[in-house]
Amino acid sequence: MSNAESIVLVVDDTPTNIDLLYGILREQYKVKVATNGEKALEVARAEPRPDIILLDIMMPGMDGYEVCRQLKADPLTAPIPVIFITAKSQVDDETRGLALGAVDYITKPFSPPIVEARVQTQLAVYNEGRRLRVENEELKGRLAGGFRDLSVSALRSIVQGGETDGVEFKSTLRWNLHTNKPDKRMENACLKTVAAYLNSGGGVLLVGVDDEGRALGIAQDGFANEDRLLLHWNGLLKQHLGVEFVQLVRSQVQDLEEQRVLVVQCLIAPKPVFFRRDDDEAFFVRTGNGTHPLKPSEVLAYLEHRQTQVGEPRDKQ
């Protein structure tokens, strides 16, 4: 949110103070005014609600402390940052205000640079917190409804449909079947597919399945047990795609045609995912049934037109 869109509510019973604060803030913010506590609560609860409140303490009737207490007791207004504006400068007064939930104090007489700096700082904190809350709610929604519990028959149906834009097969995770040696290119290929799904519409990667859909299993990768394989794989995701995206990937070892295969479900990520390894960084997307890198000049255009709908992984025909 830009400064011009932010709403500042000034609560003070002294016209001189209101005029001064209005003059300081009006060029950067939308300013609303209340001259008593009851009116302040009414304005704070009405849409659109203020993004920050400058609240005088000493007012007739309901004082600023009581206004702050009621604001913080109401779920609708509790997140709004409150800065007390007051001539009182005793430590006990400040402590009481902070205990009620205020984030800062501005003492009278007002210094315009101080007022501007305090408001800007607290608005930045508030807006960042609001952004993170929105992202967290979106993420919870994705996690709650995005992953499927794939039964044996569902997994078999996915394999029978062959590779698509939302389904890809990899014979191994790290073992080069031609050289019979470990090869990080195998890992890279799997990671690139996951990155592409996160950047596109989600999808399913099956490791231990050849291009024809035959189940080869994961035994050839040589891990002591399945837990070790999953530990290694999740470590690769964190290291080369980013810790923040691990929650958007579900990795499980499941039965398929008398073999154990690695099933990786991916949801669409809320922000760009880059594959990083060996000092290289690349942005991958799904095109048809393949994974392709984009040039730096193409990434922004792709993101602007990227599919935003979030749903089940794209494994249905």
- Least Cα distance to 239 among 295, 293, 194, 297 occurs for 194
Helix, coil or strand: residue 239: helix
How far apart (Å, rounded) are the C-alpha atoms in residues 101 and 86? Answer: 16
Q: What is the CATH number of domain 3-133?
A: 3.40.50.2300
Whether the CB-CB separation of 45 and 91 falls below 8 Å is answered with no
Range with the poorest average pLDDT among 16-20, 95-99, 100-104, 149-153: 149-153
pLDDT tier, 287 (very low <50, low <70, confident <90, very high otherwise): confident
Q: Exposure pattern of 96-109 as b/e (b: 16+ CB <10 Å)?
A: bbeebebbbbbeee
Q: What is the structure's pLDDT at 1?
A: 57
Domain covering 150-304: architecture? 2-Layer Sandwich (3.30)
> For 6-11, what is the mean pLDDT?
96
Weakest-pLDDT range from 83-87, 214-218, 296-300: 296-300
Question: Looking at residue 108, what is its pLDDT?
Answer: 85
Predicted pLDDT at 95: 85
**Quick one: pLDDT at residue 310?**
39
Q: Could you count the other beta carbons within 10 Å of the beta carbon of residue 262?
A: 24
- Return mean pLDDT, the chain: 88
Task: Give the model's confidence band at 315: pLDDT under 50 very low, under 70 low, under 90 confident, else very high.
Answer: very low
pLDDT digits 0-9 by tens, 129-162 = 887 776 665 555 555 556 888 888 889 888 988 9
The arrangement of strands across the sheet holding 203-207 comes to 167-170, 203-207, 259-266, 249-256
Nearby residues of 43 by Cβ (< 8 Å), 6 or more positions away: 9, 32, 34, 50
Residue range(s) occupied by CATH 3.40.50.2300 in the chain: 3-133
**C-alpha 45: how far from chain center:** 27
- Kindly report, residue by residue over 188-206, the tens digit of the pLDDT: 999 999 999 999 888 999 9
Q: What is the pLDDT of residue 62?
A: 94
- Rounded CA-CA distance 149/11 in Å is 54
What is the Cα–Cα distance from 162 to 157, expressed in whole angstroms? Answer: 9
117 touches 25 (CB < 8 A)? no
Residues of the chain with CATH 3.30.950.30: 150-304
Identify the pLDDT of residue 311.
Answer: 41
Q: Burial, 31: exposed, middle or buried (Cβ in 10 Å; 0-12, 13-18, 19+)?
A: buried
Write down the pLDDT at residue 137: 59
Q: What's the confidence (pLDDT) of residue 2?
A: 58
Q: How confident is the model at residue 316 (pLDDT cuts 50, 70, 90)?
A: very low
pLDDT band with cut points at 50, 70 and 90 for residue 279? confident
For residue 82, which phi and psi values (nearest 5 degrees)? -115, 125
DSSP 8-state code for residue 46: S
Q: Residues 22-56: pLDDT tens digits?
A: 999 999 999 999 999 999 999 999 999 999 999 99
Q: What is the pLDDT of residues 291-314, one digit of tens each?
A: 999 988 888 888 776 644 434 444
